[in-house]
Structure 1
């Protein structure tokens, strides 16, 4: 064998060996890159999708990995896997064949500091629904990209719109639900002619919708809701013939639905609600494929197109709060599985369409405040899926179909202010879910059925101003959660059932102007929450029960009955004179307008003598005590003058103290705190109980005290005494274990005293930040967070009208002897009015460090402002730091500081209070993540307090978090926010 031949063979063998080994080298590199990705990501729960990612396994068999025919990584699909960590894009982009990267719906955080220019083969990129921070990088190099999902990813600042110019292959562009800087509609998007899905909701787009939007003729879905769009809807939008869904709600659009809108014949979902649109809605008559039509809260006029009655797919129709006239199409909702109709607050006429529950799926009939006539169609009596039936404030008449009263799932029956006749039938026993029965101001007659006591979910019964006769059901006491009973102005007779005293939750009883007879049940005196009782203009007889003396009522009226005997001593005050008039058989030793009781009226001579002696002795003691207090009050002029003023005493609970006990305790030695609205005193009662009293001086516009000669102004924040009184009265009705209890108010022309329960452990601020702070272990901090959240949830969702606190902070969260929290200090609280619209207040209020960022561009606030402030409190609980600290740097607060720490796991854990053991820091971070969601810049992206409570309860130590955030109410869209899905089973 020649030497040349031997060299040639060696050369060929070496080349073959090199070619054979090259793929193994590449594969070895890709394996290492995937192992690097695994090390950067983690998942706290099991099973872990990354468990199969081991060096001993072929990487093409890794969970979530797809390889091409050459054995290189082609796709990474790890969405919705509860992964957390900082994304190592520099490693990922070295996978030379990667064309799909899907990491949406995880908990990835930190900033994207590496550009994506080396991921040039990417066609599919999903980083949406994560917790990233900072700006999104330039992606101009990704010219092959077809699908880009960044919705709800957390990126902020200015989005690199210019980088979209070369992405002419984009089919899906989803950038919504991110707090980007405000920008006009980006021109770059108008060049993406292949787009079929464009999702730009909640990303601060402003200005007009450009006419060139009509050039994106491949669009199937166009979602622009929750932005700052203005001007008219461009006519060119009618060129989008393939459009299936169009979402424009909650913008500032004006004008009419454009001519040519009728061309969108493939449209199935259309929502332009909460804008300023006007004119008629005749253009929608051609959109025969509509499934959902939402045009509420606009200024539309004219009639509802009759063609809607022939729409075969329509299941949702919301047209409320417009100015529509004429009848509804009678066949509307009769073709498909109709879900709900809300056409409230219009000027609609004619009968109620009869067949909307034809398919047996309807959940809500909401047609209140119109001019509908005729009766309730009998078909709804068998609509067992109905949850809300509200047709109040119309001109409806006739008999209510019997089955309506007994719908098994109905929560509200509201037929008030009509001309309905007939009786409430025994079918009501089947209404096991009903909470509100509202039928006042009708022509209902007959007796209340005994079976009403079987509807045990009833909270409100409003049947006043009808012609209901007969006796009250004896079993009415079975309604244990009944709060309000209004039966005034009817024809009721017989006695008041003794069992009514078993309705332990009742706060309002009104049976005035009936023909009730017999005695007033003594059991009414044991009702713990009764606040208003009106039994006037009946035929009640006998003596007033002594047990009523224990009630402290804001409304008390027994006038014009046949009551006899002595008026109980606690009721024998001139203030009740009008409440007892019209009872000539009553007598009183003190009220001059009543005859004096005879010597034998209810007490013996010895008893009377004893009472006189005791009264005389008490008078002497009080005189001596008064002299003593007068001398002691020389320390402060305003303390000395309190007893000289004329006070108005209003109680909201059963009290064990007197007005004098409170007034006598307002002195310097009992001062425990000072605030912007007044001083706070600790009062020790003779029975050992402790109270807190806030003394608020009236001030003028300059903050100076008003003299007695000036018009009364009860606080700095209130311009009118009546407004203050109304607000206190509303807040006094609050009953919740996590809201501080207001016992009473004592007011004069110069000042006001508010008497609260005393919290011996001070405020959460004290315990976290001041020299009096004490160690709070993590379990205690968690319980404080949950309790305070439940208190705010009650204010927002549990009151008849929501209460916005507007100054939520750790110093307004007080702690009782067991460190259980109470929401306190409603000095800035605002009651949401029924006609308050989207926003509840126009007054800048709150405390620096807790104020939501929307104050920077609007004075309008709602419940979401409280949610932001509560998120700051959660950050305090987790970090132990104040909202404002020097270490945060200029123009930064605790929210900005926390966000700056979301770079890696170690940085996040460094935000946790060092006093919390390392073993519990993972639990604290769960609460920190909830705090981050609460403090999202855009109010629409924050959860409700109801959702916050749910998240916190699921974040209990050793539990996982699960949440779906939805919107509440008849007039709100019943859908989950995509943004909140990141917290769905992910912690």
Structure 2
């Protein structure tokens, strides 16, 4: 019997059956490959964050557990105990889903882009022991519930934007050993409540905005503290006696506060102290003579920039110190011999005191000395032969002492040397030939001594040399031909010696040479025509030598030359016409045998003394040229005979020309509603004022700012110019100071006298009614600021940025050092640095520039602050005293912009500006944390070095900022030397080191 047939299903039921089957299959697959609850929590974390780098791409929900995912650690292959995702470029709020992981003990999310505030619900992470959220963008108040996590041992919240006061609940931590709150925006009182956390081993509150006040004595309760970092916390007074209880303290940092009184002797109770930082306070009195032996662990001490007096304690120098900083005090007496016996000493800085006597005889023989700076003291005697015995000496700086004798030959074996400054001493004898050719030296300063002998041909080995300064010695012989192999040479200053011979032709291969000073020697011969190849030459001084022949016309082809002194020689012939191409700030051709007329270009008051002692010169400031008088007498009769013949022709031509010109002027005026009342040009022009005015339409506006609109004008000859039309309010200043010029007059007065490759050219200016116009060369690539802070930033690769910053520095250096009187720009910023078609940089916008009278030593009071927010030097804002140091601060900010790619004012800095943010970040975290990620890693060393130069420029104390001439030298040295030349600063970070120089104010040494 056949089996019964099952009834067939209607066709409409088939899809439902397939769907059910699919669900059953999916359920079966999910069951076999189900992600555990901890993995699901981490998937929620992933969904709450933005992950542009794909770091979390292997967090796969198809896995059964997350233990193999990036950044995840499990204890038994199933339970998540740690999430480590530092430097992963993650952004978004704090991922609260992490607290769903019941065994999570470690969270490290440092150096990301996390933002917003930390939620109070973080206390749900009950088993956390380690929390690192540093280097993010968290803001707002700290959550008081953080202290509710019972087992927290390590909390790092540095480098964020937390503000307000530290919650009182933070005094309730039970097991906390490390609390790092450096570099935030806390602005309340010093959190005394933290002293209740007696388990603390490391506490860092540095670089915040706490209210000024004394150091709370309650800090003495931190009986387990080992590292206490309280720099720049607003402390006044002295260290309380309660600190004597801190027997485990090894690192005490109180720099950049306002501590006063004598040296805090309570320090001698800190038997475990390894490093003591009291740099930059207001401590005074003598350093204690004894009790230093009570600190057997002390290796590093820096009490520089205070007002200590007395002698260097011998008891201190008996310790096995590694770093000793006593600079910028009022110490006197000798340097103790015992200091040289330390087996660890690598950094010795004693500059700017009144120390006397010789250096310790065996200094360097027992220790790996790297930095020795004893400049600006009263030291004498010969240099020890052992300074570089360990082969690590890099900085040898002894400016302005009374050292004598010959340089030890052992220095010639010191291959590690990079910077040698021995100027203003009493050294004698010949410089050992090997010293000239040291391979890493880039600054060799031997000026103002009694050195003799020849310049060695071994100089060819000094391929890193960028500055050679040997002036005011008794060097003799000729300049070696080998000097032409120094491709990085920027500065050769050899004035006031006894050099003979001629200028070697190899000199003219030095494409980067900017300064050549051979004055006051016995050099003879003619100036070779190849002088025209030195396109970077800014200063040429050959005065008081024995040069003869004619002055080569090729000097007029030097595009950036602004200082030319050929006086006191035997030059003859005419003044070459090529000099008409130059606009020299200083010209001196006096006391030669020149003849012929003085060029009309130089027949100005500023050049009155430039031609004295040349009796055969005529015209200008001299007597009338006799040949001109003779010519007139000879031809008078001829002119009288012909005048009637040509009078008719002249009359017809004159009338015709007048009618033609009148019609053109009338037509031009009819085309423009403006009429020109004044017109002044500073260069030979191929266009008229009416053509400029006619092309000012709103369609051609390329910029607008506080001073006026800027138009792009394409002239009939195809040339492009930029025309700035000043707002009337810029013309009619409301400043009552009668000496204050309006912006138009200031810019005309300034730019009209300048010709420099890194200063924008002012072609001409004109006035029309109440409107005033300035016509400049057109810069096709706009301003540095516009390019740097736009989507085109990636076009600015590091070599181009470096070129721009060096160009701009040379322009400012010209204003400060080569103009008479000096010019302070007062509004240096990236938007006032314009870029030509090859991205060459030129300083622009001199509307608030100021000539500084030399008699006022570079300082003058202003009626109002000029400049732009984020660029203004702090002392200028407070005192209205303008100096060249104000420009240097602003330029430092420009350097920071180029290195970081960030604007000077940005919301992410909170109440800080770029300068403050970079300074604090570098001091605490290092250079790499501020560098623009668009920059290539291969140039990191040089980028960091330029960053250090920027940090020098933004020093809070104007006297500590280098001069612009020094900045140029430092930049050129950075270009010449690929290595990062640094010394260790007080915080253990790398930074260049500088000192005050009597001739150059602040010089890197």
TM-score for the superposition, normalised by structure 2 = 0.71
Partner of 1:374: 405
Distance 1:430 1:814 in 2: 38
Distance 2:853 2:198 in 1: 50
Partner of 2:133: 127
Q: Per-residue CA shift, 1:294-344, capped at 9, x if unaligned?
A: 232333333322211111111111222233333221222222322121122
Counting only pairs closer than 5 Å after superposition, residues 120-159 of structure 1 correspond to structure 2 as: 121-138=127-144, 139-142=146-149, 144-159=151-166
SS at match of 2:316: helix
Which segments of 5 or more consecutive residues in structure 1 lack a partner in the other structure?
Answer: 1-23, 707-711, 769-775, 884-893, 901-930, 982-987
1:314 and 2:320 aligned:
no
What is the deviation of 1:111? 1.8
Partner of 2:442: 411
**Is the 8 Å Cα contact of residues 827 and 887 (structure 2) preserved in structure 1?**
no
Partner of 2:914: 934
Distance 1:704 1:284 in 2: 61
Q: Per-residue CA shift, 1:561-615, capped at 9, x if unaligned?
A: 22345555655778756433333444559953554359799x999x9999x9999
Quick one: which of 72, 78, 83 aligns to 1:76?
83
Q: Per-residue CA shift, 1:115-134, capped at 9, x if unaligned?
A: 65444544433222333222
Counting only pairs closer than 5 Å after superposition, residues 783-932 of structure 1 correspond to structure 2 as: 791=804, 795=808, 800=813, 807=827, 812=832, 824-828=844-848, 845-846=865-866, 895-896=906-907
What is the deviation of 1:714? 4.3
Partner of 1:4: none
Question: Taking structure 1 as reference, are residues 955 and 675 closer, same or farther at Cα in structure 2, changes over 3 Å only?
Answer: closer
Deviates more, 1:754-763 or 1:305-314: 754-763
What is the deviation of 1:390? 0.4
Partner of 2:684: 656
Partner of 1:967: 948
**Is the 8 Å Cα contact of residues 80 and 103 (structure 2) preserved in structure 1?**
yes
Question: Taking structure 1 as reference, are residues 338 and 681 closer, same or farther at Cα in structure 2, changes over 3 Å only?
Answer: same
SS at match of 1:517: strand
Quick one: which of 514, 517, 522 aligns to 2:553?
522
Q: Per-residue CA shift, 1:630-656, capped at 9, x if unaligned?
A: 9999xxxx998858xxx9x9x7xxx43
Question: Taking structure 1 as reference, are residues 386 and 763 closer, same or farther at Cα in structure 2, changes over 3 Å only?
Answer: closer
Distance 1:98 1:680 in 2: 61
SS at match of 1:468: strand
Which segments of 5 or more consecutive residues in structure 2 lack a partner in the other structure?
Answer: 1-31, 172-193, 817-823, 881-885, 954-959, 962-981, 991-1005
Distance 1:247 1:209 in 2: 13
SS at match of 1:155: strand
1:343 and 2:374 aligned:
yes
What is the deviation of 1:532? 1.7
**Is the 8 Å Cα contact of residues 423 and 446 (structure 2) preserved in structure 1?**
yes
Partner of 1:886: none
Q: Per-residue CA shift, 1:493-525, capped at 9, x if unaligned?
A: 122222222111101111111111222223222
Quick one: which of 419, 422, 427 aligns to 1:391?
422
What is the deviation of 1:489? 0.9
SS at match of 1:446: strand
SS at match of 1:440: coil
**Is the 8 Å Cα contact of residues 285 and 305 (structure 1) preserved in structure 2?**
no
Partner of 2:228: 198
Question: Taking structure 1 as reference, are residues 293 and 979 closer, same or farther at Cα in structure 2, changes over 3 Å only?
Answer: closer
Distance 2:864 2:685 in 1: 38
Distance 1:479 1:319 in 2: 37
SS at match of 1:76: strand
Partner of 1:423: 454
**Is the 8 Å Cα contact of residues 444 and 468 (structure 2) preserved in structure 1?**
yes
Question: Taking structure 1 as reference, are residues 191 and 95 closer, same or farther at Cα in structure 2, changes over 3 Å only?
Answer: farther
**Is the 8 Å Cα contact of residues 500 and 524 (structure 1) preserved in structure 2?**
yes
**Is the 8 Å Cα contact of residues 311 and 331 (structure 2) preserved in structure 1?**
yes
Higher RCO structure (Cα 8 Å, ≥6 apart): 1
1:234 and 2:250 aligned:
no
SS at match of 1:307: helix
Partner of 2:112: 106
**Is the 8 Å Cα contact of residues 317 and 336 (structure 2) preserved in structure 1?**
no
What is the deviation of 1:797? 8.5
Distance 1:387 1:933 in 2: 34
Quick one: which of 757, 766, 769 aligns to 2:777?
757
Partner of 2:433: 402
What is the deviation of 1:178? 5.2
Question: Taking structure 1 as reference, are residues 571 and 937 closer, same or farther at Cα in structure 2, changes over 3 Å only?
Answer: closer
Distance 2:861 2:350 in 1: 26
Distance 1:363 1:615 in 2: 78
Q: Per-residue CA shift, 1:884-903, capped at 9, x if unaligned?
A: xxxxxxxxxx844x678xxx
Quick one: which of 36, 49, 56 aligns to 2:44?
36
**Is the 8 Å Cα contact of residues 629 and 664 (structure 1) preserved in structure 2?**
no
SS at match of 2:43: helix
Partner of 2:181: none
**Is the 8 Å Cα contact of residues 567 and 587 (structure 1) preserved in structure 2?**
yes
CA-based RMSD of the aligned residues comes to 5.9
**Is the 8 Å Cα contact of residues 801 and 898 (structure 2) preserved in structure 1?**
no
Partner of 2:515: 484
1:87 and 2:119 aligned:
no
Q: Per-residue CA shift, 1:192-233, capped at 9, x if unaligned?
A: 221222233455555543332332211222233344545554
What is the deviation of 1:395? 2.2
What is the deviation of 1:675? 8.0
Question: Taking structure 1 as reference, are residues 869 and 438 closer, same or farther at Cα in structure 2, changes over 3 Å only?
Answer: closer
Distance 1:694 1:756 in 2: 11
SS at match of 2:163: coil
Partner of 2:976: none
Q: Per-residue CA shift, 1:649-699, capped at 9, x if unaligned?
A: 9x7xxx4349x9789989999999998779989999896643647889999
TM-score for the superposition, normalised by structure 1 = 0.72
What is the deviation of 1:175? 4.1
Counting only pairs closer than 5 Å after superposition, residues 543-554 of structure 1 correspond to structure 2 as: 543-554=574-585
Distance 2:597 2:503 in 1: 28
Deviates more, 1:395-404 or 1:789-798: 789-798
Distance 2:860 2:295 in 1: 37
Partner of 2:202: 172
Partner of 1:911: none
Counting only pairs closer than 5 Å after superposition, residues 631-780 of structure 1 correspond to structure 2 as: 655-657=683-685, 689=719, 690=721, 692=723, 703=735, 714=741, 732=754, 735-736=757-758, 740-741=760-761, 756-758=776-778, 779-780=791-792
1:217 and 2:247 aligned:
yes
SS at match of 1:556: strand
1:56 and 2:60 aligned:
no
Question: Taking structure 1 as reference, are residues 551 and 801 closer, same or farther at Cα in structure 2, changes over 3 Å only?
Answer: closer
Partner of 2:53: 45
**Is the 8 Å Cα contact of residues 116 and 141 (structure 1) preserved in structure 2?**
no
Question: Taking structure 1 as reference, are residues 339 and 81 closer, same or farther at Cα in structure 2, changes over 3 Å only?
Answer: farther
Distance 1:615 1:411 in 2: 68
Question: Taking structure 1 as reference, are residues 157 and 756 closer, same or farther at Cα in structure 2, changes over 3 Å only?
Answer: farther
Quick one: which of 320, 342, 345 aligns to 1:289?
320
Distance 2:802 2:46 in 1: 37
Question: Taking structure 1 as reference, are residues 283 and 679 closer, same or farther at Cα in structure 2, changes over 3 Å only?
Answer: farther
Question: Taking structure 1 as reference, are residues 762 and 406 closer, same or farther at Cα in structure 2, changes over 3 Å only?
Answer: closer
What is the deviation of 1:251? 3.8
1:247 and 2:254 aligned:
no
Q: Per-residue CA shift, 1:924-963, capped at 9, x if unaligned?
A: xxxxxxx99837568544899x989994472599x99997
Distance 1:504 1:395 in 2: 36
